[in-house]
């Protein structure tokens, strides 16, 4: 507990991390209270279609005269919820895989990690596309697809963490006192592995938001009319001549969100690295769209 | 050396087998299965029985998979449900476009990433290093599809210098037109990898510059250009080769989004069309081809790394 407070203090001390947190907090607050805001992402005004930014519509209007800012705010909700759900799926499957593989070693490690390798045999976006091809296009499909692509990194990080803790005195002591495998894994090793897993949560949230937007941009993500940043970029791209800001502004919000999460993840990783708690910086996730 | 190569391949074989099994099993997981996929929902029981016998669905799963795999390895990926053309030839038409775009993007990535890495590694912590690190964070964080849209807005809509939709022209047929068409997508994709290249090479250079041999070289009076150019670069390049190779492997499938932004006729667009029209043989073919290329490049990167670094033991 004291250690996580120390971690939080050192992350907060970083100016770039403060800016990132401020942006993310705004997004989270807006998405929590969207239903209370006096905005409607579905209200059409066919007389005011494809307008540029104005006092009435700060981000302009889309091809059906809907307010783009309202859709961006509702899109934040879609993005954050997909990210949270996908990271939860990835963690719920990946962390136990890593724990079991690292703790037992031997054939169980070999089998589990080979299965994880299969998930890595394709770049993330292609894996997600293949999953959607099988289960069809829906909100659940997008969530599942993005979640499954995140499993390998959780499994690997947790496994590495278990391997490095496995021979430490306090773990050996619990083992000598007769602690069961489950007790050692979940009550001794896991509580000491939270920091690198937390960094991974932040990094994967960025990947998940980007992946969800990319799938929507390709036309196979969450189906309309649910507002999604990627879907807005997709439609906005067809009106580049009529309304250039249509695709630019939602993209800017998406980019700021990704950059904030990346920055936060990197600051957290560097703080942890100083304390030699993680093996490698988590900043780099291959196979990004 | 050959033994090492074979061992690496043998390690990847289970992964390849399981992954190809998943790709094959894909059509069995969709609602209605392969029969429903071909006949649609309104098929009579007789039609279904006839097709099941024709497709050999009554035989053991392993036999069916093995037959599919051996035919696929022989280049027969089946027929597209929509165009009724062989999947292999449809993929063959699109693959060169994706490979050309991937290579062009690698060139752009190296042309930007290497100088950035060298400039920032030589003076770690300086203002230049800090500026360049912000720049590579941007390169990594800005989504390719948004960057692509911004570039189209600037160079096609506003300045009208380049086309907003890019076609595929082989380099050797019309170099100038090829450049005009490939410049924006290659830059979009190359910008992202330049961030990865810069970050990796910088880290590798910084750690090499601290090594003892650098101090020795400096103290015997070698000019800095030779210390960096001759000694440090060579060692720092070793891990870097792996990253460049892995990125090129990623491009085979990773160009999907960029191809969509620029309506570029590559493998990625083919896959997207296949998914939206539910053309399963084509989906399977595309993913299988991408998977094989991805894994082959990965093995080649390992082998190349072992080849250029004599310290790696093949055993």
DSSP chain B: -HHHHHHHHHHHHHHHHHHHHHHHHHHHHSTTHHHHHHH-TT--HHHHHHHHHHHTTTS-HHHHHHHHHHHHHTT---B-TTT-SBHHHHHHHHHHHHHHHHHHHHHHHHHHHHHHHHHHHHSTTSHHHHHHHHHHHHHHHS-HHHHHHHHIIIIIIIS--S-SS-----TTT-HHHHHHHHHHHHHHHHHHHHHHHHHHHHHHHHHHHTSHHHHHHHHTT--HHHIIIIIIHHHHHHHHHHHHHHHHHHHHHHTHHHHHHTT--SHHHHHHHHHHTT-HHHHHHHHHHHHHHHHHHHHHHHHHHHHH-TTS---
The answer on pLDDT for B255 being more than 90 is no
Judged by CB atoms closer than 8 Å, whether chains meet at B146 and A115 is answered as no
**Are residues A237 and B149, on separate chains, in Cβ contact within 8 Å?**
yes
Chains A, B: CB contacts within 8 A come to 135
pLDDT at B294 over 80: yes
What is the tens place of the pLDDT at every residue in B188-223?
A: 999 988 988 888 888 888 888 888 888 888 888 888
**Nearest residue of A to residue B297 by CA position?**
A121
Q: Enumerate residues 67 to 126 of chain A having a beta carbon within 8 A of any beta carbon in chain B.
A: 114-115, 117-118, 121-123, 125-126
**Which residues of chain B does A236 touch, with a Cβ-Cβ cutoff of 8 Å?**
149
User: Which of B98, B60, B57, B92 has the alpha carbon at shortest distance from B77?
Assistant: B92
Q: How many CB atoms lie within 10 A of CB B224?
A: 11
Report the predicted TM-score, pTM, of the whole model to 2 decimal places.
Answer: 0.86
What is the spatial distance between Cα A169 and Cα A27, in angstroms, rounded to a whole number? 43
Q: Shortest Cα distance from B250 to chain A (angstroms)? A: 6
B188 contacts B102 by C-beta, under 8 angstroms:
no
SS3 call for B266: coil
Nearest CA in chain A to B279: A133
B253–A258 C-beta distance less than 8 A: no
pLDDT band at residue B306 under the 50/70/90 scheme: confident
DSSP 8-state symbol, A61: B
* Cβ distance of A126 and B253 shorter than 8 Å: yes
**How crowded is the C-beta side of B68, counted as CA atoms within 13 Å?**
25
Task: Residue B22: list chain A partners with CB under 8 A.
Answer: 118
User: What average pLDDT does range A213-234 have in this prediction?
Assistant: 88
Asked if the Cβ–Cβ distance from A240 to B149 is below 8 Å, we say yes
Please write the tens of the pLDDT for every residue from B74-126: 888 878 877 888 888 889 888 888 888 989 999 999 999 988 988 888 888 88
Per the listing, tokens 């490049």 go with B297
Average pLDDT on B263-278 reads 87
Q: Which residues of A are less than 8 Å from B102 in CB distance?
A: none
| Distance of alpha carbon A31 from alpha carbon A28, whole angstroms | 5
Distance separating alpha carbons of residues A120 and B110, to the nearest angstrom: 25
Q: Is A288 on the interface with B (CB under 8 A)?
A: yes
Residue in chain A closest to B142 (alpha carbons) equals A255
What pLDDT is stored for residue A286 in this prediction? 38
Q: A151-184 pLDDT, tens per residue?
A: 998 998 888 888 888 888 888 888 888 878 888 8
Q: What share of chain B is helix, strand, coil (3-state, %, to 5)?
A: 75, 0, 20
Task: Quote the tokens at residue B294.
Answer: 């991805």
pLDDT at B41: 67
Contacts of B144 in chain A (CB under 8 A): 289
Q: How far apart are CA B303 and CA B299, in angstroms?
A: 6
CB–CB contact B145 A263 (8 Å):
no
Q: Which residues pair with A67 in a beta bridge?
A: A61
Task: Identify the pLDDT of residue B1.
Answer: 67
> Which residues of chain A make contact with B150, given a CB cutoff of 8 A?
248, 251
What tens digit of pLDDT does each residue of A37-93 get? 777 777 777 777 777 777 777 777 777 778 888 888 888 988 999 999 999 999 999
Q: How far is C-alpha A7 from the geometric centre of its chain's CA atoms?
A: 21
Would the ipTM clear 0.95, i.e. be above it? no
Distance, CA of A18 to CA of A149 (rounded, Å): 29
Classify residue A173 as exposed, middle or buried by CB count within 10 Å of its CB (0-12, 13-18, 19+): exposed
Minimal CA separation from B70 to chain A, in Å: 20
CB contacts under 8 A, A 208-227 vs B, are 210, 213-214, 217-220
* Cα–Cα distance, A41 to B172 (Å, whole number): 50
Quick one: three-class SS letters along B78-94? CECCCCCCEHHHHHHHH
Instruction: Looking at the complex, report in whole angstroms how far the Cα of residue B202 sits from the nearest Cα belonging to chain A.
Output: 14
Of A248, A258, A287, the CB nearest to B150: A248
| Cis preceding-peptide flag for A225 (omega within 30 of 0) | yes
Question: Are A122 and B149 in contact (CB < 8 Å)?
Answer: no
Scanning chain A, the segments in alpha helix (DSSP H) are 2-12, 15-32, 68-104, 106-120, 124-135, 139-166, 169-176, 181-183, 194-217, 229-237, 244-274
Check pLDDT > 50 for residue A289: no
Structure tokens at B204: 């590798």
- What are the two backbone dihedrals, phi and then psi, of residue A166, each rounded to the nearest 5 degrees? -50, -40
CA atoms of A50 and A67, how far apart (whole Å): 10
B283 and A251: CB-CB below 8 Å?
no
Interface-testing mutation among B275, B276, B296, with chain A (most A C-beta atoms within 10 A): B275
Burial B58-71 (b: 16+ CB within 10 A, else e): eeeeeebeeebbee
Question: What's residue B32's pLDDT?
Answer: 66
- B157 vs A126, A219, A244: nearest CB: A244
- Cβ–Cβ gap B14/A114 under 8 Å: yes
Chain-chain contact of A262 with B137 (C-beta, under 8 angstroms): yes
Single out the residue of A22, A19, A34 nearest to residue A69, CA to CA.
A34
Largest CA distance in chain A: 76
Interface of A with B in 222-261 (CB under 8 A): 230, 233, 236-237, 240-241, 244, 247-248, 251-252, 254-255, 258-259
Place of tokens 């203002």: B127
* C-alpha to C-alpha distance for B254 and B93, rounded to whole angstroms: 18
Q: Render pLDDT for A255-273 as a digit per residue (tens, 0 to 9).
A: 999 999 988 888 888 887 7
Considering only CB atoms, which chain B residues are within 8 Å of A117?
A: 15
Task: Please list every residue in chain A whose beta carbon sits closer than 8 Å to the beta carbon of residue B164.
Answer: 240
Q: How far apart are CA B172 and CA A190, in angstroms?
A: 57
The residue whose two tokens read 């690198």 is A196
Q: What is the CA radius of gyration of chain A?
A: 21
pLDDT at B159: 84
Asked if pLDDT for residue A1 goes beyond 60, the answer is: no
Which of A130, A248, A253 to mutate against chain B (most B CBs within 10 Å)? Answer: A130
Contact yes or no for A211/A289 (Cβ under 8 A): yes
Assess A15–B contact: CB distance below 8 Å, yes or no. no
For residue B231, the 8-state DSSP code is: I
Measure CA of the first residue to CA of the last residue in chain A; give whole Å: 36
* B146 interaction partners in chain A (CB closer than 8 Å): 233, 247, 251-252, 254-255
pLDDT at A288 over 50: no
């Amino acid at each position: 507990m004291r250690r996580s407070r120390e971690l939080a203090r050192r992350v907060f001390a970083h100016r770039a991390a403060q800016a990132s947190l401020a942006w993310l907090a705004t997004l989270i607050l807006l998405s929590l209270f969207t239903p209370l805001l006096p905005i409607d992402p579905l209200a059409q005004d066919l007389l005011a279609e494809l307008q540029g930014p104005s006092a009435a519509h700060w981000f302009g209007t889309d091809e059906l005269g809907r307010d783009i800012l309202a859709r961006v705010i509702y899109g934040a909700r879609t993005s954050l919820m997909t990210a949270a759900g996908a990271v939860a799926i990835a963690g719920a499957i990946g962390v136990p895989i890593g724990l079991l593989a690292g703790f037992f070693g031997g054939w169980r490690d070999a089998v589990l990690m080979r299965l994880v390798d299969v998930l890595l045999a394709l770049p993330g976006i292609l894996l997600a596309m293949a999953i959607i091809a099988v289960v069809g296009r829906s909100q659940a499909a997008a969530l599942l697809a993005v979640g499954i692509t995140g499993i390998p990194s959780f499994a690997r990080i947790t496994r590495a963490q278990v391997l490095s803790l496995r021979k430490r005195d306090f773990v050996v002591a619990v083992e000598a006192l007769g602690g069961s495998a489950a007790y050692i894994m979940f009550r001794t090793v896991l509580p000491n592995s939270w920091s690198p897993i937390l960094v991974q949560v932040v990094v994967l949230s960025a990947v998940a938001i980007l992946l969800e937007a990319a799938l929507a941009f390709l036309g196979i993500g969450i189906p309309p009319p649910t507002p999604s940043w990627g879907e807005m970029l997709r439609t906005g791209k067809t009106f580049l001549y009529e309304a250039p800001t249509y695709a630019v502004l939602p993209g800017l919000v998406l980019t700021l969100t990704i950059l904030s999460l990346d920055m936060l993840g990197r600051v957290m990783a560097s703080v942890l690295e100083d304390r030699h708690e993680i093996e490698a910086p988590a900043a780099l996730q291959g196979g990004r769209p | 050396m050959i033994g090492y190569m074979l061992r690496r391949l043998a390690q990847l074989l289970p992964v390849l087998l399981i992954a190809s099994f998943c790709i094959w099993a894909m059509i069995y997981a969709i609602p209605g299965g392969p029969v429903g996929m071909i006949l649609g929902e309104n098929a009579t029981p007789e039609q279904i029985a006839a097709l099941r016998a024709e497709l050999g669905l009554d035989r053991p799963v392993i036999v069916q998979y093995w037959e599919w795999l051996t035919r696929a390895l022989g280049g027969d990926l089946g027929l597209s449900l929509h165009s009724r053309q062989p999947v292999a030839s449809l993929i063959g038409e699109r693959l060169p476009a994706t490979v050309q775009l991937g290579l062009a993007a690698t060139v752009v990535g190296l042309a930007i990433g290497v100088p950035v890495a060298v400039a920032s590694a030589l003076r770690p912590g300086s203002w230049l290093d800090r500026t360049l690190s912000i720049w590579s964070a941007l390169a990594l964080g800005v989504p390719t599809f948004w960057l692509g849209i911004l570039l189209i807005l600037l160079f096609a809509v506003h300045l009208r210098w380049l086309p907003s939709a890019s076609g595929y022209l082989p380099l050797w047929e019309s170099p100038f037109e090829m450049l005009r068409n490939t410049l924006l997508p290659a830059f979009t994709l190359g910008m992202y990898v330049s961030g990865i290249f810069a970050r990796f090479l910088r880290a590798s250079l910084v750690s090499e510059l601290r090594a003892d041999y650098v101090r020795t070289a400096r103290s015997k009076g070698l000019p800095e250009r030779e210390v960096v150019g001759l000694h440090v670069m060579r060692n720092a390049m070793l891990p870097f080769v792996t990253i460049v190779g892995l990125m090129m492997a990623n491009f085979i499938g990773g160009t999907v989004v960029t191809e969509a932004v620029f309506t570029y006729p590559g493998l990625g667009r083919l896959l997207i069309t296949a998914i939206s029209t539910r053309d399963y043989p084509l989906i399977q073919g595309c993913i299988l081809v991408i998977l094989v290329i991805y894994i082959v490049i990965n093995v080649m990167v390992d082998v190349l790394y072992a080849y250029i670094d004599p310290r790696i033991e093949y055993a």
